[in-house]
Amino acid sequence: MTIGFIGAGTMGMPIALHLLRAGYSVDVIIRNDDGADVVAAGGRVFTSPSDLDRPVFLFLCLPNAETVEQVLFGPHAVQLAAGAVVIDLTTHDRASAKRIAERLAESSVDFIDAPISGMQQRAQQGTLTVMCGGGPDKFRQVKPLFDCFATSVLWMGDVGSGQTAKLINQLLFDVNMAALAELLPAAVRLGLDPVLVAEVVNGGTGRSYASEFFLPRILQGQFSNGYPLAKAYKDLKAGAALSADLALPMPVLAAATATYQTALAQGHGDLDKGSMILPFEGLSGVVFRARHRLFCTLALRGVVEEIWDDASGPGEIIFEPTVLLLQRIAAGDLPTLALLTDEAAQGLELDGKILSRHPLVLSRIGIAATQDNPPPAFATTDDLVRYLREVPSLCYSKSGASGIHFSAVLERLGIAAEIDAKAVVIPQGLTGRMVAEGKAACAIQQISELAQIQGLSAASPLPEETQRTEIFSAALHANSPTTDALLARLLHADTRPLLAAHGLMPIERNTAV
Protein backbone atom coordinates (compact mmCIF):
# COMPACT_ATOMS: atom_id res chain seq x y z
CA MET A 1 0.00 0.00 0.00
CA THR A 2 1.50 3.31 -1.13
CA ILE A 3 0.64 6.71 0.31
CA GLY A 4 1.17 9.86 -1.74
CA PHE A 5 1.78 13.17 0.02
CA ILE A 6 1.58 16.59 -1.62
CA GLY A 7 2.25 19.72 0.42
CA ALA A 8 5.22 18.89 2.65
CA GLY A 9 5.55 22.37 4.11
CA THR A 10 5.55 23.69 7.67
CA MET A 11 2.70 21.42 8.71
CA GLY A 12 2.84 18.78 6.00
CA MET A 13 6.45 17.71 6.42
CA PRO A 14 6.09 16.62 10.08
CA ILE A 15 2.91 14.72 9.16
CA ALA A 16 4.63 12.90 6.29
CA LEU A 17 7.52 11.97 8.57
CA HIS A 18 5.13 10.58 11.21
CA LEU A 19 3.55 8.33 8.55
CA LEU A 20 6.98 7.11 7.48
CA ARG A 21 8.07 6.41 11.05
CA ALA A 22 4.89 4.39 11.56
CA GLY A 23 6.09 2.06 8.81
CA TYR A 24 4.02 3.22 5.85
CA SER A 25 5.44 3.57 2.35
CA VAL A 26 5.16 7.27 1.49
CA ASP A 27 5.99 9.08 -1.75
CA VAL A 28 6.35 12.83 -1.16
CA ILE A 29 6.21 15.66 -3.68
CA ILE A 30 8.92 18.23 -2.89
CA ARG A 31 9.85 20.92 -5.40
CA ASN A 32 12.99 22.14 -3.67
CA ASP A 33 16.00 20.46 -2.11
CA ASP A 34 14.42 19.81 1.32
CA GLY A 35 13.78 16.10 0.86
CA ALA A 36 16.71 14.77 2.88
CA ASP A 37 14.57 14.05 5.96
CA VAL A 38 12.05 12.12 3.88
CA VAL A 39 14.74 9.98 2.29
CA ALA A 40 16.41 9.40 5.67
CA ALA A 41 13.07 8.16 7.04
CA GLY A 42 12.69 5.70 4.16
CA GLY A 43 10.43 7.69 1.85
CA ARG A 44 10.75 8.54 -1.82
CA VAL A 45 10.84 12.09 -3.20
CA PHE A 46 9.30 13.29 -6.48
CA THR A 47 8.92 16.75 -7.97
CA SER A 48 5.55 16.62 -9.76
CA PRO A 49 2.14 15.20 -8.76
CA SER A 50 2.07 13.33 -12.06
CA ASP A 51 5.16 11.37 -10.91
CA LEU A 52 3.16 9.56 -8.23
CA ASP A 53 2.28 5.97 -9.18
CA ARG A 54 -1.45 5.72 -8.43
CA PRO A 55 -1.28 5.85 -4.62
CA VAL A 56 -4.00 4.10 -2.64
CA PHE A 57 -4.21 7.05 -0.26
CA LEU A 58 -3.31 10.61 -1.25
CA PHE A 59 -2.72 13.23 1.45
CA LEU A 60 -2.98 16.91 0.50
CA CYS A 61 -1.78 19.71 2.78
CA LEU A 62 -1.95 22.79 0.56
CA PRO A 63 -2.59 26.55 0.86
CA ASN A 64 -6.14 26.70 -0.55
CA ALA A 65 -8.88 24.96 -2.54
CA GLU A 66 -7.59 26.32 -5.85
CA THR A 67 -4.25 24.58 -5.33
CA VAL A 68 -6.03 21.35 -4.36
CA GLU A 69 -8.05 21.41 -7.58
CA GLN A 70 -4.94 22.16 -9.64
CA VAL A 71 -3.16 19.14 -8.15
CA LEU A 72 -6.15 16.84 -8.68
CA PHE A 73 -7.49 18.07 -12.01
CA GLY A 74 -4.82 20.28 -13.60
CA PRO A 75 -2.53 19.48 -16.55
CA HIS A 76 0.02 17.76 -14.29
CA ALA A 77 -2.51 16.13 -11.98
CA VAL A 78 -1.80 13.04 -9.94
CA GLN A 79 -3.15 9.83 -11.48
CA LEU A 80 -5.53 7.93 -9.19
CA ALA A 81 -7.10 4.52 -9.64
CA ALA A 82 -10.72 3.70 -8.84
CA GLY A 83 -11.10 3.05 -5.12
CA ALA A 84 -8.34 5.45 -4.08
CA VAL A 85 -9.00 7.86 -1.21
CA VAL A 86 -7.99 11.52 -1.23
CA ILE A 87 -7.44 12.84 2.30
CA ASP A 88 -7.43 16.63 2.18
CA LEU A 89 -5.80 18.27 5.22
CA THR A 90 -6.08 21.71 3.58
CA THR A 91 -8.20 24.39 5.23
CA HIS A 92 -10.68 25.91 2.76
CA ASP A 93 -14.50 25.78 2.83
CA ARG A 94 -17.50 23.45 2.78
CA ALA A 95 -18.59 24.30 -0.77
CA SER A 96 -15.14 23.62 -2.22
CA ALA A 97 -14.94 20.30 -0.38
CA LYS A 98 -18.29 19.18 -1.82
CA ARG A 99 -17.33 20.31 -5.33
CA ILE A 100 -14.02 18.42 -5.21
CA ALA A 101 -15.69 15.28 -3.80
CA GLU A 102 -18.32 15.26 -6.54
CA ARG A 103 -15.72 15.55 -9.28
CA LEU A 104 -13.57 12.77 -7.81
CA ALA A 105 -16.63 10.53 -7.47
CA GLU A 106 -16.94 10.61 -11.27
CA SER A 107 -13.71 8.55 -11.31
CA SER A 108 -14.79 6.35 -8.35
CA VAL A 109 -12.29 8.08 -6.06
CA ASP A 110 -13.37 8.80 -2.48
CA PHE A 111 -12.72 12.09 -0.70
CA ILE A 112 -12.39 13.02 2.96
CA ASP A 113 -11.98 16.63 4.00
CA ALA A 114 -9.81 16.55 7.11
CA PRO A 115 -8.55 20.00 8.10
CA ILE A 116 -6.14 20.00 11.02
CA SER A 117 -5.95 22.18 14.10
CA GLY A 118 -2.74 22.87 15.97
CA MET A 119 0.42 24.72 15.03
CA GLN A 120 3.81 23.51 13.86
CA GLN A 121 4.93 22.33 17.30
CA ARG A 122 1.91 20.04 17.64
CA ALA A 123 2.48 18.73 14.12
CA GLN A 124 6.03 17.83 15.11
CA GLN A 125 4.80 16.21 18.33
CA GLY A 126 2.09 14.24 16.54
CA THR A 127 -0.66 15.75 18.71
CA LEU A 128 -2.85 17.48 16.11
CA THR A 129 -6.64 17.55 16.07
CA VAL A 130 -8.32 16.36 12.85
CA MET A 131 -11.93 17.15 11.91
CA CYS A 132 -13.17 14.78 9.22
CA GLY A 133 -16.01 14.97 6.74
CA GLY A 134 -16.94 12.03 4.52
CA GLY A 135 -18.47 8.58 4.54
CA PRO A 136 -18.26 6.80 7.91
CA ASP A 137 -16.88 3.61 6.33
CA LYS A 138 -14.05 5.47 4.64
CA PHE A 139 -13.37 7.35 7.86
CA ARG A 140 -12.94 4.08 9.75
CA GLN A 141 -10.63 2.85 6.99
CA VAL A 142 -8.26 5.82 7.17
CA LYS A 143 -8.39 6.54 10.91
CA PRO A 144 -5.22 4.48 11.63
CA LEU A 145 -3.37 6.89 9.34
CA PHE A 146 -4.63 9.89 11.30
CA ASP A 147 -3.58 8.24 14.54
CA CYS A 148 0.05 8.50 13.39
CA PHE A 149 0.06 12.28 13.78
CA ALA A 150 -3.04 13.25 15.77
CA THR A 151 -4.36 12.60 19.26
CA SER A 152 -7.90 13.78 18.54
CA VAL A 153 -9.55 12.48 15.35
CA LEU A 154 -13.23 13.34 15.00
CA TRP A 155 -15.78 12.34 12.37
CA MET A 156 -18.04 15.40 12.00
CA GLY A 157 -20.44 14.15 9.30
CA ASP A 158 -20.66 14.14 5.52
CA VAL A 159 -18.19 15.79 3.14
CA GLY A 160 -17.63 19.45 4.07
CA SER A 161 -18.38 18.94 7.75
CA GLY A 162 -14.69 18.91 8.61
CA GLN A 163 -14.23 22.29 6.93
CA THR A 164 -17.23 23.72 8.76
CA ALA A 165 -15.95 22.54 12.14
CA LYS A 166 -12.48 23.92 11.40
CA LEU A 167 -13.93 27.29 10.36
CA ILE A 168 -15.94 27.64 13.57
CA ASN A 169 -12.86 26.78 15.60
CA GLN A 170 -10.65 29.24 13.70
CA LEU A 171 -13.16 32.06 14.00
CA LEU A 172 -13.35 31.59 17.77
CA PHE A 173 -9.55 31.71 17.85
CA ASP A 174 -9.56 34.95 15.83
CA VAL A 175 -12.25 36.52 18.02
CA ASN A 176 -10.25 35.68 21.15
CA MET A 177 -7.08 37.24 19.73
CA ALA A 178 -8.96 40.35 18.61
CA ALA A 179 -10.35 40.79 22.13
CA LEU A 180 -6.87 40.44 23.62
CA ALA A 181 -5.53 43.00 21.15
CA GLU A 182 -8.15 45.53 22.20
CA LEU A 183 -8.06 45.07 25.97
CA LEU A 184 -4.42 44.42 26.87
CA PRO A 185 -3.11 47.90 25.93
CA ALA A 186 -5.97 49.38 27.95
CA ALA A 187 -4.73 47.47 31.00
CA VAL A 188 -1.27 49.00 30.60
CA ARG A 189 -2.78 52.44 30.02
CA LEU A 190 -4.53 52.04 33.38
CA GLY A 191 -1.22 51.33 35.10
CA LEU A 192 -1.22 47.53 35.31
CA ASP A 193 1.96 45.49 34.86
CA PRO A 194 1.81 43.48 31.59
CA VAL A 195 3.43 40.40 33.11
CA LEU A 196 0.91 40.29 35.95
CA VAL A 197 -1.99 40.90 33.56
CA ALA A 198 -0.85 37.95 31.42
CA GLU A 199 -0.66 35.80 34.55
CA VAL A 200 -4.19 36.78 35.54
CA VAL A 201 -5.60 36.11 32.08
CA ASN A 202 -3.92 32.73 31.59
CA GLY A 203 -4.72 31.68 35.13
CA GLY A 204 -8.32 32.83 35.10
CA THR A 205 -11.56 32.65 33.17
CA GLY A 206 -10.20 34.86 30.38
CA ARG A 207 -7.81 32.10 29.35
CA SER A 208 -7.94 30.75 25.79
CA TYR A 209 -5.55 29.00 23.46
CA ALA A 210 -4.96 32.40 21.84
CA SER A 211 -3.91 33.91 25.17
CA GLU A 212 -1.74 30.92 26.11
CA PHE A 213 0.05 30.93 22.77
CA PHE A 214 0.37 34.65 22.03
CA LEU A 215 0.72 36.44 25.38
CA PRO A 216 4.22 35.10 26.16
CA ARG A 217 5.31 36.12 22.68
CA ILE A 218 3.71 39.56 22.75
CA LEU A 219 5.38 40.23 26.10
CA GLN A 220 8.75 39.66 24.40
CA GLY A 221 7.88 41.66 21.29
CA GLN A 222 7.85 38.57 19.08
CA PHE A 223 5.35 38.62 16.22
CA SER A 224 6.75 36.09 13.74
CA ASN A 225 6.10 32.74 15.43
CA GLY A 226 2.75 31.83 13.91
CA TYR A 227 0.84 31.72 10.63
CA PRO A 228 0.99 35.10 8.81
CA LEU A 229 -2.04 37.38 9.01
CA ALA A 230 -2.28 37.79 5.25
CA LYS A 231 -2.55 34.04 4.66
CA ALA A 232 -4.95 33.45 7.56
CA TYR A 233 -7.34 36.18 6.39
CA LYS A 234 -9.19 33.57 4.31
CA ASP A 235 -10.89 32.36 7.51
CA LEU A 236 -12.40 35.78 8.18
CA LYS A 237 -13.66 36.01 4.61
CA ALA A 238 -15.20 32.57 4.94
CA GLY A 239 -16.84 33.68 8.18
CA ALA A 240 -18.40 36.69 6.46
CA ALA A 241 -19.70 34.42 3.70
CA LEU A 242 -21.14 32.05 6.31
CA SER A 243 -22.98 34.92 7.99
CA ALA A 244 -24.41 36.02 4.64
CA ASP A 245 -25.41 32.51 3.52
CA LEU A 246 -27.21 31.77 6.77
CA ALA A 247 -28.68 35.29 7.04
CA LEU A 248 -27.43 35.31 10.63
CA PRO A 249 -25.93 38.44 12.18
CA MET A 250 -22.47 37.87 13.68
CA PRO A 251 -21.57 41.24 15.22
CA VAL A 252 -18.70 39.98 17.38
CA LEU A 253 -17.10 38.29 14.37
CA ALA A 254 -17.59 41.46 12.32
CA ALA A 255 -15.80 43.50 14.99
CA ALA A 256 -12.94 40.99 15.11
CA THR A 257 -12.69 41.16 11.33
CA ALA A 258 -12.35 44.94 11.51
CA THR A 259 -9.48 44.54 13.99
CA TYR A 260 -7.86 42.03 11.65
CA GLN A 261 -8.28 44.36 8.67
CA THR A 262 -6.76 47.27 10.58
CA ALA A 263 -3.62 45.25 11.27
CA LEU A 264 -3.42 44.27 7.60
CA ALA A 265 -3.92 47.87 6.49
CA GLN A 266 -1.02 48.95 8.71
CA GLY A 267 1.31 46.53 6.94
CA HIS A 268 1.41 43.65 9.42
CA GLY A 269 0.35 40.95 6.95
CA ASP A 270 3.66 39.11 7.21
CA LEU A 271 3.41 38.93 11.01
CA ASP A 272 1.33 36.50 13.05
CA LYS A 273 -2.06 37.11 14.65
CA GLY A 274 -0.46 38.53 17.78
CA SER A 275 0.33 41.61 15.71
CA MET A 276 -3.35 42.58 15.88
CA ILE A 277 -2.33 44.28 19.13
CA LEU A 278 0.01 46.71 17.34
CA PRO A 279 -2.67 49.16 16.08
CA PHE A 280 -4.16 49.38 19.58
CA GLU A 281 -0.72 49.93 21.10
CA GLY A 282 -0.26 52.77 18.65
CA LEU A 283 -3.63 54.30 19.55
CA SER A 284 -3.07 54.00 23.29
CA GLY A 285 0.59 55.05 23.24
CA VAL A 286 1.71 52.08 25.36
CA VAL A 287 3.06 48.61 24.68
CA PHE A 288 2.18 45.29 26.29
CA ARG A 289 5.73 44.10 26.97
CA ALA A 290 7.49 42.36 29.84
CA ARG A 291 10.47 44.63 29.49
CA HIS A 292 11.51 47.57 27.44
CA ARG A 293 13.81 46.76 24.56
CA LEU A 294 16.22 49.21 22.99
CA PHE A 295 17.71 48.77 19.52
CA CYS A 296 20.76 50.99 19.09
CA THR A 297 22.97 51.53 16.06
CA LEU A 298 26.69 51.18 16.72
CA ALA A 299 27.35 54.90 16.18
CA LEU A 300 25.47 55.77 19.39
CA ARG A 301 26.61 52.84 21.50
CA GLY A 302 29.26 54.73 23.48
CA VAL A 303 26.86 57.50 24.47
CA VAL A 304 24.03 55.13 25.38
CA GLU A 305 26.27 52.96 27.52
CA GLU A 306 27.41 56.00 29.49
CA ILE A 307 24.03 57.61 30.16
CA TRP A 308 21.76 54.60 30.51
CA ASP A 309 21.36 53.00 33.91
CA ASP A 310 20.80 49.28 33.40
CA ALA A 311 18.86 49.05 36.66
CA SER A 312 16.17 51.40 35.40
CA GLY A 313 16.59 50.84 31.69
CA PRO A 314 15.33 48.13 29.35
CA GLY A 315 15.89 44.49 30.07
CA GLU A 316 17.65 44.16 26.74
CA ILE A 317 19.74 46.47 24.57
CA ILE A 318 20.79 45.25 21.13
CA PHE A 319 23.68 47.06 19.45
CA GLU A 320 23.91 46.40 15.71
CA PRO A 321 24.26 48.34 12.44
CA THR A 322 21.06 50.01 11.31
CA VAL A 323 20.59 47.59 8.41
CA LEU A 324 20.54 44.60 10.78
CA LEU A 325 18.19 46.35 13.20
CA LEU A 326 15.79 46.97 10.31
CA GLN A 327 15.93 43.28 9.44
CA ARG A 328 14.91 42.44 13.00
CA ILE A 329 11.99 44.87 12.85
CA ALA A 330 10.87 43.56 9.45
CA ALA A 331 10.88 40.02 10.89
CA GLY A 332 8.52 41.07 13.68
CA ASP A 333 11.11 41.59 16.43
CA LEU A 334 9.98 44.97 17.71
CA PRO A 335 11.78 47.28 20.17
CA THR A 336 10.21 49.87 22.41
CA LEU A 337 12.73 52.42 21.14
CA ALA A 338 15.20 52.29 18.26
CA LEU A 339 18.16 54.61 17.72
CA LEU A 340 19.16 54.41 14.06
CA THR A 341 19.78 56.50 10.95
CA ASP A 342 17.15 59.12 10.24
CA GLU A 343 16.61 57.65 6.79
CA ALA A 344 15.67 54.34 8.38
CA ALA A 345 13.49 56.06 10.98
CA GLN A 346 11.64 57.93 8.24
CA GLY A 347 10.95 54.64 6.49
CA LEU A 348 9.49 53.17 9.67
CA GLU A 349 7.42 56.32 10.14
CA LEU A 350 6.02 56.14 6.60
CA ASP A 351 5.17 52.46 7.11
CA GLY A 352 3.29 53.30 10.31
CA LYS A 353 5.58 51.12 12.42
CA ILE A 354 6.50 53.83 14.97
CA LEU A 355 4.66 56.39 17.05
CA SER A 356 7.09 59.27 16.51
CA ARG A 357 10.53 60.19 15.16
CA HIS A 358 13.02 62.46 16.92
CA PRO A 359 16.21 63.57 15.09
CA LEU A 360 19.02 63.56 17.67
CA VAL A 361 22.55 64.04 16.39
CA LEU A 362 24.76 64.49 13.36
CA SER A 363 27.71 62.19 12.77
CA ARG A 364 30.58 62.29 10.29
CA ILE A 365 32.86 59.63 8.88
CA GLY A 366 36.53 59.57 9.82
CA ILE A 367 39.73 57.55 9.83
CA ALA A 368 41.59 56.55 13.00
CA ALA A 369 44.84 54.67 13.51
CA THR A 370 47.19 53.96 16.40
CA GLN A 371 48.12 56.82 18.69
CA ASP A 372 51.77 56.68 17.64
CA ASN A 373 50.91 56.79 13.94
CA PRO A 374 47.76 58.92 13.58
CA PRO A 375 46.31 59.83 10.18
CA PRO A 376 46.89 63.36 8.87
CA ALA A 377 44.19 65.97 8.41
CA PHE A 378 42.54 65.48 5.04
CA ALA A 379 42.15 68.90 3.47
CA THR A 380 41.51 67.54 -0.02
CA THR A 381 40.51 64.35 -1.77
CA ASP A 382 44.09 64.02 -3.03
CA ASP A 383 45.25 63.92 0.60
CA LEU A 384 42.84 61.07 1.27
CA VAL A 385 43.83 59.08 -1.82
CA ARG A 386 47.53 59.51 -1.02
CA TYR A 387 47.01 58.23 2.52
CA LEU A 388 44.91 55.26 1.44
CA ARG A 389 47.55 54.21 -1.07
CA GLU A 390 50.40 54.57 1.41
CA VAL A 391 48.81 52.90 4.42
CA PRO A 392 49.68 49.16 4.53
CA SER A 393 46.18 48.01 5.46
CA LEU A 394 42.79 49.34 6.50
CA CYS A 395 39.47 48.10 7.83
CA TYR A 396 35.87 49.02 7.08
CA SER A 397 32.48 47.34 7.18
CA LYS A 398 30.03 47.17 4.31
CA SER A 399 26.98 46.58 6.51
CA GLY A 400 26.88 50.02 8.13
CA ALA A 401 26.03 53.40 6.60
CA SER A 402 29.63 54.64 6.83
CA GLY A 403 31.12 51.54 5.19
CA ILE A 404 28.56 51.54 2.40
CA HIS A 405 29.37 55.20 1.72
CA PHE A 406 33.14 54.64 1.88
CA SER A 407 32.88 51.74 -0.57
CA ALA A 408 31.00 54.01 -2.98
CA VAL A 409 33.70 56.70 -2.56
CA LEU A 410 36.40 54.20 -3.51
CA GLU A 411 34.45 53.25 -6.62
CA ARG A 412 33.92 56.89 -7.57
CA LEU A 413 37.62 57.65 -7.15
CA GLY A 414 38.57 54.63 -9.24
CA ILE A 415 40.71 53.02 -6.53
CA ALA A 416 38.33 50.37 -5.20
CA ALA A 417 40.22 47.32 -6.48
CA GLU A 418 43.58 48.70 -5.33
CA ILE A 419 42.39 49.58 -1.82
CA ASP A 420 40.17 46.55 -1.30
CA ALA A 421 43.12 44.29 -2.10
CA LYS A 422 44.69 45.27 1.24
CA ALA A 423 41.47 45.95 3.16
CA VAL A 424 40.03 43.95 6.03
CA VAL A 425 36.29 44.10 5.37
CA ILE A 426 34.25 42.90 8.35
CA PRO A 427 30.56 41.96 8.12
CA GLN A 428 29.59 44.14 11.09
CA GLY A 429 30.93 45.62 14.31
CA LEU A 430 33.47 48.26 15.25
CA THR A 431 36.28 48.53 12.71
CA GLY A 432 38.61 50.16 15.25
CA ARG A 433 38.99 46.80 16.99
CA MET A 434 40.99 45.55 14.02
CA VAL A 435 43.49 48.38 14.60
CA ALA A 436 43.63 47.73 18.35
CA GLU A 437 44.29 44.04 17.65
CA GLY A 438 47.02 44.82 15.11
CA LYS A 439 45.07 43.42 12.17
CA ALA A 440 44.80 46.73 10.29
CA ALA A 441 46.79 49.97 10.22
CA CYS A 442 43.72 52.23 10.18
CA ALA A 443 39.93 52.03 10.38
CA ILE A 444 37.12 53.90 8.64
CA GLN A 445 33.75 54.38 10.34
CA GLN A 446 31.54 56.97 12.01
CA ILE A 447 33.78 59.09 14.22
CA SER A 448 31.54 58.21 17.18
CA GLU A 449 32.16 54.50 16.52
CA LEU A 450 35.91 54.96 16.28
CA ALA A 451 35.87 56.86 19.59
CA GLN A 452 34.54 53.75 21.36
CA ILE A 453 37.85 51.87 20.99
CA GLN A 454 40.54 52.71 23.53
CA GLY A 455 44.09 53.24 22.29
CA LEU A 456 43.15 54.72 18.92
CA SER A 457 44.17 58.14 17.69
CA ALA A 458 41.70 60.95 17.29
CA ALA A 459 39.79 60.41 14.06
CA SER A 460 40.45 62.61 11.04
CA PRO A 461 37.23 63.43 9.17
CA LEU A 462 37.05 62.61 5.47
CA PRO A 463 37.45 65.69 3.24
CA GLU A 464 34.23 67.53 2.51
CA GLU A 465 33.89 66.33 -1.08
CA THR A 466 33.91 62.70 0.11
CA GLN A 467 32.17 63.23 3.43
CA ARG A 468 28.69 62.07 4.40
CA THR A 469 26.98 63.65 7.37
CA GLU A 470 24.55 61.16 8.86
CA ILE A 471 21.54 62.10 10.96
CA PHE A 472 20.68 59.66 13.73
CA SER A 473 17.18 59.64 15.17
CA ALA A 474 15.11 58.00 17.85
CA ALA A 475 12.20 55.94 16.54
CA LEU A 476 9.67 55.61 19.35
CA HIS A 477 7.26 52.69 19.16
CA ALA A 478 5.39 53.68 22.31
CA ASN A 479 5.68 56.09 25.19
CA SER A 480 6.94 54.70 28.49
CA PRO A 481 8.80 56.11 31.50
CA THR A 482 12.06 54.38 30.58
CA THR A 483 12.13 55.34 26.92
CA ASP A 484 10.97 58.87 27.72
CA ALA A 485 13.82 59.17 30.23
CA LEU A 486 16.43 58.08 27.70
CA LEU A 487 15.05 60.39 25.04
CA ALA A 488 14.97 63.34 27.43
CA ARG A 489 18.56 62.66 28.48
CA LEU A 490 19.78 62.48 24.89
CA LEU A 491 18.07 65.77 24.09
CA HIS A 492 19.17 67.58 27.26
CA ALA A 493 21.73 70.38 26.99
CA ASP A 494 23.87 68.80 29.72
CA THR A 495 24.52 65.83 27.43
CA ARG A 496 26.14 67.94 24.69
CA PRO A 497 29.72 67.69 26.03
CA LEU A 498 29.35 63.90 26.14
CA LEU A 499 28.05 63.86 22.58
CA ALA A 500 30.95 66.02 21.43
CA ALA A 501 33.43 63.70 23.16
CA HIS A 502 32.03 60.88 21.06
CA GLY A 503 32.28 62.81 17.80
CA LEU A 504 28.57 63.62 17.64
CA MET A 505 26.90 66.98 17.04
CA PRO A 506 23.49 67.59 18.65
CA ILE A 507 20.74 68.82 16.36
CA GLU A 508 19.21 72.09 17.46
CA ARG A 509 15.49 71.72 17.98
CA ASN A 510 14.75 74.38 15.35
CA THR A 511 17.12 72.82 12.79
CA ALA A 512 15.36 71.62 9.66
CA VAL A 513 16.11 68.01 8.78
Active-site amino acid positions: 166
Task: For residue 247, give the DSSP letter.
Answer: T
CA angle at residue 405 from 399 to 408, to 5 degrees?
110
Query: What residues contact 115, with CB distance under 8 A and at least 6 apart?
Result: 88, 89, 90, 91, 92, 130, 131, 162, 163, 165, 166
**Helix H segments across 190-341?**
194-203, 209-219, 229-246, 251-265, 277-284, 301-307, 322-330
Spatial CA neighbour of 148 closest among 23, 278, 334: 23
Spatial CA neighbour of 449 closest among 408, 400, 404, 406: 400
How far, in Å, CA of 328 to CA of 477, rounded? 14
Query: What residues contact 86, with CB distance under 8 A and at least 6 apart?
Result: 58, 60, 72, 80, 100, 104, 109, 110, 111, 112
Parallel/antiparallel/unpaired status of strands 44-46 and 57-60: unpaired
How far, in Å, CA of 453 to CA of 434, rounded? 10
Sign of CA dihedral 236, 237, 240, 246: negative
How far, in Å, CA of 153 to CA of 366, rounded? 66
Burial class (CB in 10 A: 0-12, 13-18, 19+), 216: middle
The number of beta carbons lying within 10 Å of the beta carbon of residue 40 is 10
Q: Which helix (H) or strand (E) holds 45?
A: strand 44-46
Q: Can you tell me whether residue 150 is helix, strand or coil?
A: strand
CA distances from 268 to 259, 264, 275, 338 (A): 12, 5, 7, 19
How far, in Å, CA of 297 to CA of 358, rounded? 15
CA distances from 446 to 358, 472, 493 (A): 20, 11, 22
Q: Can you tell me whether residue 119 is helix, strand or coil?
A: coil
CA distances from 28 to 1, 20, 57, 232 (A): 14, 10, 12, 25
Q: Can you tell me whether residue 464 is helix, strand or coil?
A: helix
